[in-house]
Amino acid sequence: MTQETGSRMDKIVALCRRRAFIFQSSEIYGGINGFWDYGPLGAELKRNLKNAWWKDIVQCPAAGPDGSWLDMVGLDSTIIMNRRVWEASGHATGFNDPMVDDRQTKQRFRADHLFGLYVDALPADPNASPDTSPGTPANAPALNTAFPILTMVASSAGEAAELLEASGRKWLKEAGLPMKLATCTPEAVTLDYRGTPLAAKLAPVPAAQLKSAPGSIPSPFTHRAGTLTEPRQFNLMFKTYVGAVQDEESMAYLRPETAQGIFANFRNIIDTSRVKVPFGIAQIGKAFRNEVTPRNFTFRSREFEQMEIEFFIHPDTAAEWYAWWRDSRFAWWQSIGLTSSNLQMRAHDRDELAHYAKDGAGTSDIEYRFPFTDPGFGELEGVAHRTDFDLRQHAEFSGLGEKLKYFDQLQNQRYFPHVIEPSAGADRGTLALLCEAYHDDPNRPSGVVMKFHPRMAPIKAAIFPLVDKDSMPEIATKLFTDLRRTWNVQLDIKQNIGKRYARMDEVGTPYCFTIDTQTLADQTVTVRHRDTLAQDRIGISQVRSFLSDKIGEI
Ligand code: ATP
């Protein structure tokens, strides 16, 4: 991440605060790490995202690969479920992040977020060795090319490079290393080692190295070796108690994903909803993960919302359905405005695949290049072929066995369907919409415009009487009263018109309608287009159909 993109994120965070998109949770008490509140406009934006998903997935899904409509139903299951669900799913024992502690500073971080600065090769000149050169501090550590000379906690190579660029000089000093930072990008780092250039690179510290020799790896906090523990597993599920007695028996988890509520209801739904394989169950809801290092605004939160689909298919059709869901989910994100090259699809390497996906058709992530991951990408949605892992587990743990199988009447066959799971984050989606929409524009009084896709824009249109007299407020109020039945529109009577336009640019309102003196004469209004700043006139009676054309009726 460059300095420029760093400040771009700062500006987005500031705008979110200033214009009531996102606030820190419990801010008046100093906040709580990893929790965020959506203000009035953020609540609208996130709701638009979730509503569009529900509409396009559950109520009006696209045609599938063979051209017929998808069979989709919705669900709203509970956050707290029987604990056995999480034993069956593997979360109770397996939903862990390996964590490392610094014994000296008491700080804790995720082992897979530790980046190291490795020197590629020592300079050829033996006199340049830190042990023999004149002026070398007596305690200067000998360089060992196998271990990082510095470490930092970052979730991407881009972030690591940015941290190194900002603080590397100070850290080298703290580590007692007689060298300076010369150049620094995620791909290549050069150090100045007493006048000799020394090539170095930033790379994740391998798990095996942290495990076998934690004492040889410098701490990312003190830059001295000897204080890190080896990685230890830390379960990410939040615990609570159900009922009056708080003991081991009454302990329950807050769900870490919505998917298991779907699997637990599979039998109920096939018994009651007339669905036939292939079909899908979709759900939007809160999920909770006690993330070790919540960071990057809402990207990694401890409470967040997921939009998940479990699509049940015959095992023989897995490859086809996997490819179809992967491509249609990618196209969906584009359809709501993530059209730039900041959106990408990435197939997982085999060694990244989750336990359930090893024998499946694969897993792909739909990723967005956020300012804080740049030049890297962060996951928005994962599309995974989960095989029949979950249904088999629930069949075994619930004791239902064969009864959890699907019965295909046409083929007289009983089997566990396979599952394609597109699992998206509503908060990461909202954050991507905010980042994509943000445009600096020095030619506007606001200096910034949020170019939301009209379907996502929190306010669809603003209605302004040019002045607060001559019956203009009354005409504006009448138009507002009509339009608000269909869309979230705003009536703003006060302030000069330039300020009112500026405010609407900052919150990304696609259209403003102004009632002016000409309206009184010919019943037309000025339409101001957010993106082009063009202004033209349409009849006041055409405003409703204009908005229907441009925005649709949701
Ligand atoms: P990551 O690797 O970034 O931790 P994940 O692979 O664990 O994510 P999944 O378990 O696949 O994520 O969850 C599905 C979706 O839920 C993700 O694509 C993401 O959009 C969202 N999500 C997961 N964890 C978080 C979180 N801590 N904060 C916000 N959204 C999250």
CATH of the domain at 545: 3.40.50.800
143 closest CA partner among 162, 119, 164, 125: 119
Contact 554, 55 (CB under 8 A): yes
**Ligand 1 pocket residue status of 306, Cβ below 6 Å:** yes
Residue where one domain finishes, among candidates 407, 436, 465: 436
Tell me: do 126 and 188 sit in the same domain: yes
- Ligand 1 atom with the smallest distance to the CA of 306 is 16
pLDDT tens track, the chain, 554 positions = 444 545 899 999 999 999 999 999 999 999 999 999 999 999 999 999 999 999 999 999 999 998 998 999 999 999 999 999 999 999 988 777 888 988 888 788 899 999 999 987 765 544 544 444 444 444 445 567 789 999 999 988 888 999 999 999 999 999 988 889 998 888 889 999 888 888 999 999 998 999 999 999 999 999 999 999 999 888 899 999 999 999 999 999 999 999 999 999 999 999 999 899 999 999 999 999 999 888 899 999 999 999 999 999 999 999 999 999 999 999 999 999 998 899 999 998 766 666 665 556 789 999 999 999 998 999 999 999 999 999 999 999 999 999 999 999 999 999 999 999 999 999 999 999 999 999 999 999 999 999 999 999 999 999 999 998 889 999 999 999 999 999 999 999 988 999 999 999 999 999 999 999 999 999 999 999 999 999 999 999 999 999 999 987 65
Query: Edge-to-edge strand order for the sheet containing 108-110?
Result: 108-110, 96-101, 232-235
**Is the CB of residue 300 below 6 angstroms from any atom belonging to ligand 1?**
yes
Q: Check if the beta carbon of residue 220 is closer than 8 Å to that of residue 151.
A: yes
| Nearest-10 crossing angle of helices 426-437, 40-54 | 110
Angle at 450 between CA 449 and CA 451, to 5 degrees: 105
Q: Based on C-alpha coordinates, what's the Rg of the chain?
A: 28
How close is the Cα of 357 to the center of ligand 1, in Å? 17
- How far is ligand 1, taken at its centre, from the CA of residue 220, in Å? 25
Tokens, residue 438 = 């943000």
**Ligand 1 pocket member 301 (CB < 6 A):** yes
**Residue 94's pLDDT is what?**
79
Mark residue 156 as left, alpha or beta (left: phi above 0; alpha: psi -120 to 50; beta: remaining): beta
Are 538 and 549 in contact by the 8 Å Cβ rule? The answer is no
Show the tokens assigned to 190. Answer: 């050069």
Probe ligand 1: pick from 25, 299, 379, 430, max atoms within 8 Å of CB? 379
**Cβ of residue 427 lying under 6 Å from some atom of ligand 1:** yes
DSSP letters of 7-22? Answer: HHHHHHHHHHHHTTSE
Answer yes or no: do 106 and 223 share one domain: yes
Q: Last residue of some domain: 378, 411, 436?
A: 436
Cα(63) to centroid of ligand 1, in Å?
28
- How many CB atoms are located within 10 Å of the residue 358 CB? 12
Examine the domain organization and report whether 253 and 162 are in the same domain: no
Whether 271 and 292 map to the same domain: the answer is yes
- pLDDT of amino acid 354: 64
Looking up residue 68, the CATH number of its domain turns out to be: 3.30.930.10
What pLDDT is stored for residue 254 in this prediction? 98
- Expressed in angstroms and rounded, the spacing between residue 65 Cα and the centre of ligand 1 is 28
The token duo for 480 is 């507002």
- CA distance linking residue 68 with residue 64, whole number of Å: 6
Q: What is the DSSP string of 118-136?
A: EESS--S-GGGSTTTSTT-
pTM value > 0.85: no
Å from CA of 427 to ligand 1 middle: 10
- As beta bridge partners, residue 29 has none
Q: Give the end of a domain, one of 203, 234, 265.
A: 234
| Ligand 1 proximity of 382 Cβ (cutoff 6 Å) | yes
* Residue 441 resides in a domain: no
Please choose from 33, 156, 292, 306 the residue to mutate so as to test ligand 1's pocket, defined by most ligand atoms within 8 A of CB.
306
Q: Which residue, judged by its Cα, is nearest atom 21 of ligand 1?
A: 425
- Nearest ligand 1 atom to the CA of 294 is 27
Closest-lying ligand 1 atom to the alpha carbon of residue 384: 11
Neighbours of 300 (CB within 10 A): 20
Residue of 33, 304, 326 to test ligand 1 pocket, by largest number of atoms within 8 Å of CB: 304
pLDDT score, position 419: 97
Ligand 1, closest atom to CA 378? Answer: 3
Q: Which atom of ligand 1 is nearest to the CA of 428?
A: 20
Q: Strand (E) positions, 25-95?
A: 36-38, 72-75
Dist. CA 378 → ligand 1 center (Å) = 10
Q: How many domains does the chain have?
A: 3
Is residue 347 assigned to a domain?
yes
Query: Which residue's CA lies nearest to atom 22 of ligand 1?
Result: 425
Atom of ligand 1 nearest to the CA of 304: 29
- Is residue 365, in this structure, part of any structural domain at all? yes
DSSP-derived letter for residue 357 is G
Helix (H, G, I), strand (E, B) or coil at 392: helix
Tokens at 211, concatenated: 């495990």
Confirm or reject: Cβ of 386 under 6 Å from ligand 1: no
Report the nearest atom of ligand 1 relative to the CA of 379: 18
Domain span holding position 298: 3-95+239-436
Domain check: are 314 and 328 in the same one? yes
Question: Do 389 and 488 fall into the same domain?
Answer: no
| Domain identity same for 408 and 283 | yes
In a shared domain, residues 157 and 11: no
| In-domain check, residue 394 | yes
> 511 and 384: one domain?
no
**Residue among 198, 201, 204, 235 at smallest CA distance from 220:** 204
Phi, psi of 221 (to 5 degrees): -105, -40
Ligand 1 within 6 A of CB of 426? no
Count of CB atoms situated within 10 Å of the CB of 98: 16
CA of 425 to the centre of ligand 1 (A): 6
Q: Where are the beta strands (DSSP E) in 20-125?
A: 22-24, 36-38, 72-75, 96-101, 108-110, 114-119
Same domain, 88 and 106: no
The closest alpha carbon to 56, from 70, 41, 75, 66, belongs to: 70
305 lines ligand 1 (CB under 6 A): no
- Name the residue at shortest CA distance from atom 1 of ligand 1: 379
Q: Could you tell me the two tokens for 377?
A: 């990408």
Q: Is the CB of 423 under 6 A from ligand 1?
A: yes
* Statement to judge: residues 152 and 252 lie in one domain: no
380 and 286 together in one domain: yes
Q: Which positions ≥6 away from 433 have C-beta within 8 Å?
A: 45, 49, 336, 337, 338, 452, 453, 456
Rounded to whole angstroms, the Cα distance separating 225 from 227 reads 6
Q: How far is the CA of 86 from the centre of ligand 1 (A)?
A: 17
422 lines ligand 1 (CB under 6 A): no
**Based on the number of CB atoms within 10 Å of its own CB, is 298 exposed (0-12), middle (13-18) or buried (19 or more)?**
buried
Please name the residue whose Cα sits nearest to atom 23 of ligand 1: 425
